[in-house]
Amino acid sequence: MTNKNIKIMILGADGYLGVPLSVDLALKGFNLTLIDNYVKRKLSAKYLRQPLNKINKIETRVKQLEKINKNITFSNIDCRDSNRFDQIFKKVKPDIVVHFAEIPSAPYSMLGTDEGWNTLNNNLKSTYNLISSVKKHNKDCHIIKLGTMGEYGTPNIDIEEGWLDIHHRGRKDKFLYPRQGSSLYHMSKIMDTDLLWFNVRMHGLQVTDLMQGPVYGIHTSEFAKDNHLETSFAYDDIFGTVLNRFIVQAIANIPLTVYGSGSQIRGYINLKDTLQCINLAIQNPPGKDKLSIYNQFTEQFSVNELSKIVKNALKYINIDVKINHLDNPRVESEKHYYNADNKGMKKLGLKPTLLTKDTIIEIAEYVIKYKKRINKKIIQPKINWK
């Protein structure tokens, strides 16, 4: 089967990941249905957290992508709307759905009662509606769901890839790895995984759940640059990921905001590798009655290590970086054991893009182009978990 005959639906196609994935799969000739309701843009505007760069809306991007792929459509649909979502799913009957249609912010989810419920409601209902439509209209559809390494928390044992072998009182079994999220956003992702696993067991669905670490980087395909199809770049305290935020702070001559001791360890991944992983998931469906789980990161760093990597790299372009430790606004373990397995994607063929001096400088040079748009008021953390 050629790519043009494979129907892929991308939910959340306007997001940081959805934009470059849409471009990538369009260039590869897949039949694409893009879905979004611009909720991330609306929240960014409401809370005055505009991204560094302006990006075209999907309608404009589709016109650009149609230059190289005529099989692309866009529907402005809220995935929480059961009827409208079910109608488009029934019409398209996609072979694969990539599910990014969630509010992707731990700080936002902890801002207040309304924001917490909005996160739970949006994320769980989107997943529930997707599962319902798959069961009704195409049970062979491969669901590729973006999870988060934050589901696991920071346990005092190694983090396996989704599953844990248990030996108890002379018997053994295999269970989903115990998870303990540190925000309502992470809790919504945990419940997503539980919903998906339930429906794999009960209804024979096939699902790939990608436990992704914090993402950094820019989308740099020549086609994207030449046709104004770059993705958004958030750097604020609500929607910005830590490495992207550090680099913007350095360019703006603001000390890097390290929360607490900075000993917190996480697994990180370049945006380019996220695209690799999604493509590998597309090429390797788990099969009926199966839930495949991959820990989607390439390197582990503490926040202190990350800040020093930025500081040392930017010396090469004459930027003097200062580092400032703040009282931690989050409720989290700062000194902890952290060792997560990530062999799965490498076995499928992932070739990691490691965090090098050149990678930091590449992102910094991109940020410098938009230096005048940096809003220093939205960088310091203003949401307190406590």
| Residues whose CB is less than 8 angstroms from the CB of residue 177 and which lie 6 or more positions away in sequence, other chains included | 152, 159, 160, 162, 163, 164
128 flagged as catalytic: no
Closest C-alpha to 256, from 307, 205, 330: 307
**319 occurs within a structural domain:** no
pLDDT digits (tens, 9 = 90+) for 22-76: 999 999 999 999 999 999 999 999 999 999 999 999 999 999 999 999 999 999 9
Count of domains observed in the chain? 1
pLDDT at 225: 83
Taking residues 299-316, what's their average pLDDT? Answer: 98
**280 occurs within a structural domain:** yes
- The residue behind tokens 């397995």 is 341
359 flagged as catalytic: no
**258 occurs within a structural domain:** no
149-163, 222-236, 307-321: least confidently modelled range = 222-236
pLDDT at 226: 82
**229 occurs within a structural domain:** yes
- Reading the block at residue 364, the tokens are 């910094």
**125 occurs within a structural domain:** yes
CATH of the domain at 88: 3.40.50.720
Q: Is a pLDDT exceeding 90 seen at residue 132?
A: yes
**375 occurs within a structural domain:** no
pLDDT digits (tens, 9 = 90+) for 72-120: 999 999 999 999 999 999 999 999 999 999 999 999 999 999 999 999 9
At 162, the pLDDT band (50, 70, 90 cuts) reads very high
> Kind and range of the H or E element at 36?
strand 31-36
pLDDT digits (tens, 9 = 90+) for 167-212: 999 999 999 999 999 999 999 999 999 999 999 999 999 999 999 9
pLDDT at 227: 85
Position 148: which residue type? T
216 flagged as catalytic: no
| Residues whose CB is less than 8 angstroms from the CB of residue 17 and which lie 6 or more positions away in sequence, other chains included | 100, 146, 215, 231, 271, 274
**Which is catalytic among the residues 33, 119, 127, 148?**
148
pLDDT at 220: 66
**378 occurs within a structural domain:** no
| Residues whose CB is less than 8 angstroms from the CB of residue 78 and which lie 6 or more positions away in sequence, other chains included | 37, 39, 84, 85
pLDDT at 306: 98
Structural domain boundaries enclosing 26: 3-234+270-298+337-352
Residue 375 to residue 386: CA distance in whole angstroms: 26
At 303, the pLDDT band (50, 70, 90 cuts) reads very high
10 Å Cβ neighbour count for 256? Answer: 25
pLDDT digits (tens, 9 = 90+) for 173-182: 999 999 999 9
pTM for the model stands at 0.98
**Which is catalytic among the residues 7, 40, 145, 189?**
189
**Which is catalytic among the residues 16, 108, 152, 185?**
185
Q: Do the beta carbons of residue 210 and residue 11 sit within 8 Å?
A: no
**250 occurs within a structural domain:** no
